[in-house]
Amino acid sequence: MTAQWKKVAMIMLMGLLVAGPIAPPHAVAQGEGYDRAMSAAQAALDKAAKVHNDMMMHMDSMMKMPMSANEKAMTQQMQQMAAAIQDLVETNRQLLEAIKELRKLQK
């Protein structure tokens, strides 16, 4: 269970980190590579959201199983980590929307 969460967390965080700097900010502002950068960032965001949803479904099914006190404590910590990941995904989504709105205003 722990290895699964670590793998999912790393995939999501790397997707968020890699998608951001695909194109330099000045190039995006000038329109060079904007579509490519936005589509890559959106794809990374979609993948992170899907992985998070799959992870939460797996977590929900595991919560129905009998657990020891240690397992319950670990599960609570994983839920906190999942909430942090969800916040990152939502923040990234909002940033992408803000960039799209700024792009519309520039045109």
Long-range contacts of 61-70 (CB under 8 A, 24+ apart): 62/1
Q: How many domains does the structure of the chain reveal?
A: 1
pTM assigned to the model: 0.62
Give per-residue pLDDT as tens, 22-60. 555 555 455 667 888 888 889 988 988 888 888 888 888
Its domain, for residue 93, covers 2-106
Q: Judge contact between 67 and 75, C-beta under 8 A.
A: yes
| pLDDT above 70 as % of the chain | 69
